[in-house]
Amino acid sequence: MATCPQGHASGADDYCDVCGAQMTGAPPSAQGGSSAAQGGPPAPASPGAAAQGPVEECPVCRTPRAGQYCEVCGHDYSGSAPPRVPVVAARWEAVTGADRAYYEEVVGQDGPDAHTIAFPPYCPERSFPLAGEQVRIGRGSKRRPVKPEIDLTGPPEDPGVSHLHAVLLAQHDGSWTLVDPGSANGTRVNGKPVAVNVPVPVGPGDRIHVGAWTVITIREGTP
């Protein structure tokens, strides 16, 4: 007759007949038995044992859920906070160049400095990505450490462009708006003047005119 760790006399030498406790020195085969054989609760099923349910998708952009916030559009699944502006890789680009027709229109208005501004004989196109929360348009300044993301310093340099001429702002749905914070010579989108501090939606194919001859075209694709 064996005695279990609780002091009960047991006729079995693996588990106590009275309380079911494992006997001291039980054989390995008995120790390795399942929880159900030991009289305990069944072991939990492994994560892969049960079939997984349908994957939850973001109601805004249909991206599979991976946390509280959508990784693409910033949607908050809890509904307790406003969606965040996503910071994602660029899918649009801003291509800068010179527009002769716009230059002639500006000079034709006969402004105070119109006769001093010449159209550049050569102005290569340059591409800038639209990425992050904001993209500033302007000319770099030696006096200011801030450099705009779309730097129109040149060469050639358009003297009609302000140091901070306009700002492109990312929206929650992945689109962009343009704001002119008060440039000296104004901004146009598709030929229409932009009011100061009034957001204007922009997208692929839109043309933004700044300065005396600079045109910025929004295009699809990463530069």
Q: CA–CA separation, 96 vs 215, rounded Å?
A: 6
Number of domains in the chain: 3
Is the same domain home to 118 and 193? yes
Place of tokens 């075209």: 217
pLDDT tens, position by position, 32-55: 444 444 444 544 444 444 455 677
CB atoms within 10 A of CB 55: 8
- Rounded to two decimals, the pTM is 0.60
Check: CB of residue 16 under 8 Å from CB of residue 4: yes
Is the same domain home to 2 and 101? no
Is the same domain home to 133 and 25? no
Q: Is residue 47 part of a domain?
A: no
Which domain range does residue 211 map to? 92-220
- Mean pLDDT by groups of 10 residues along the chain of 223 residues: 74 70 56 44 46 67 72 66 54 95 90 82 95 94 82 92 96 95 96 97 97 96 65
Is the same domain home to 115 and 166? yes
